[in-house]
Structure 1
């Protein structure tokens, strides 16, 4: 049953409801609802409450107060609780403060995360005939089902990269998901560290042949930061596996130096300067000198826990940089 409408505001849903896409931004959903019913975005927002301006949802996110949320639920023909489960920025902690009249606001940056283009095929399966924008912790995501890499680039097609020519990226993502199921949240914390390490490598050597080739294959500029997380993704996943092995050896008293020696060999195969590439690895080792095992598991495969600097990893919240113990924030505009 839908939530009861308020005394003021809309009392009936629009003629044509739209299906929401899980993780969709509020602005993206509202824009699609307006267009499906032959309305301009501003015309629909006039029914949701008061605000200063309507913004194209690829550029900004929309937030509402409690009354605005209730008005939107009526117009969408959905219960408030269902909208809040589907659209991250309608969650209770994202509702604008105040119990006054219904209102909405479009700040230029989401409160948390990034506006990332959704997979066009996933969106089409839910009846979307235009680009859908998702709220993601990082400025990219992978769709395994349709072999798509999408990011926060703007334009009709700029945010979608097909992975047909880069099967190693898709394979790496599937290995990452499998490792998460086997190891638990610690695997994601260690992947966050590996991603930071790989980004450090890319920032100092973006022209590394394997990364240059991948970017070229999908029509990206190898030296632009947009290409970075895509082109080094397989290496980041590989390094994450090595870090899991290192942590297990640390817990069981194994030889951790074996892992570092193996990484030296792999760095050479990737065409990286081994001496320079060791720098972020040394930083990581300094922060992972002491084991932090969880109870349970076997001696061979103990359950792992991560120490200081990984508090957000246990929550599976925030960006990879936020969940890593490695503190650097590299320039994302371009490679130096």
Structure 2
């Protein structure tokens, strides 16, 4: 490709939206300036045969030359573009490549999520699509749940302010814990799913009230992550406390040096305000998690390190078994080491051995924990 000097800026600039996909931004920039997607793409270096990308399922990858041209025509400096369009530099197109613009499909299970309509009011008629971090998210500014289940949809959370507050706490946990927080959130959600499917813990109280506020019943499985979200975040926070101690070979609250401790389980029940429900059977879901996250440091070593402090909350946690690798995208349940899945019989799930996918190590069927 031959570049003959910088390109002129287009008459109208598109407002930047943090986390927007490149495909979505190109559509909006083209529309604001009376151009088709194909015309704008060719203007920044795409071949004449380029086709329009579907921002709901596809992304546009730009090479270095195309990125520079986009900065010129958009009126935004390239570093500014890269901060907003977080996938802008996520490609392998070299400066010497003849094809500087490529359209590719998002991987299965990693589809873009439509941005909150409150956040994008006034930026144009076209919807804004954001780089996926999961199958759903919460806008804490406008109190909206956005998801890809049942197609793209958004849901106001005026009747469920505790869900918005839970997301604030989740963001705080992720900031402190790092990427490992995603594994803990995945496990905590699966524990909550266990409680929901076994009709334990908060089912007769707050969970039923949330379902009624949403106008759904137990058959609406898409709503379960939303219904159990506040309790799942509380459990994830408790798991982070346990993992910071396990990272230095300690047991919870100075308790026995075994892999499991009733003190931690009882503490989680207290934080949830569900001590009786925990004692009546809710403890089993947490014990399955403790088995997968048991302390593997030898007893002699643990006793020698008994005075060592846990990893401070301000320091990100390193990946620990069985989550040595934590994917940044995709459904949370695929990140979890717990074997049961929403909508499947709880006593028939196999207890899968550990492997590259980070599944649980066990010595018997899941029913030994789940019945």
Decide: shared fold, TM above 0.5: yes
Residue in 1 that maps onto 2:41: 45
Residue in 2 that maps onto 1:99: 96
Alpha-carbon distance in structure 2 between the residues aligned to 1:76 and 1:25: 15
Alpha-carbon distance in structure 2 between the residues aligned to 1:68 and 1:74: 10
Alpha-carbon distance in structure 2 between the residues aligned to 1:23 and 1:150: 14
Alpha-carbon distance in structure 1 between the residues aligned to 2:5 and 2:154: 38
**Structure 2 vs 1, CA of residues 10 and 139 (structure 1 numbering), >3 Å: closer, same or farther?**
farther
Residue in 2 that maps onto 1:25: 21
Residue in 2 that maps onto 1:117: 114
What is the CA-CA distance between 1:32 and the residue it aligns to?
Answer: 0.6
Residues 205 and 272 in structure 1, CA contact (< 8 A), matched pair in contact too: no
Residues 250 and 291 in structure 1, CA contact (< 8 A), matched pair in contact too: no
Residue 281 of structure 1 pairs with residue 286 of structure 2: yes
What is the CA-CA distance between 1:144 and the residue it aligns to?
Answer: 1.3
TM-score, normalised with respect to structure 2: 0.69
Alpha-carbon distance in structure 2 between the residues aligned to 1:110 and 1:219: 32
Q: How does 1:207-226 map to 2 (within 5 A)?
A: 208=203, 210-211=206-207, 213-219=209-215, 222-226=218-222
TM-score, normalised with respect to structure 1: 0.75
Match of 1:303 among 290, 312, 315: 312
What is the CA-CA distance between 1:167 and the residue it aligns to?
Answer: 1.2
Residues 38 and 50 in structure 2, CA contact (< 8 A), matched pair in contact too: no
Structure 1: segments with no counterpart, 5+ residues? none
Residues 215 and 221 in structure 1, CA contact (< 8 A), matched pair in contact too: yes
Larger radius of gyration: 2
Residues 15 and 37 in structure 1, CA contact (< 8 A), matched pair in contact too: yes
Residues 59 and 106 in structure 2, CA contact (< 8 A), matched pair in contact too: yes
Alpha-carbon distance in structure 1 between the residues aligned to 2:238 and 2:267: 9
What is the CA-CA distance between 1:281 and the residue it aligns to?
Answer: 2.6
What is the CA-CA distance between 1:33 and the residue it aligns to?
Answer: 0.5
What is the CA-CA distance between 1:63 and the residue it aligns to?
Answer: 1.8
SS at match of 1:308: coil
Residue in 2 that maps onto 1:55: 53
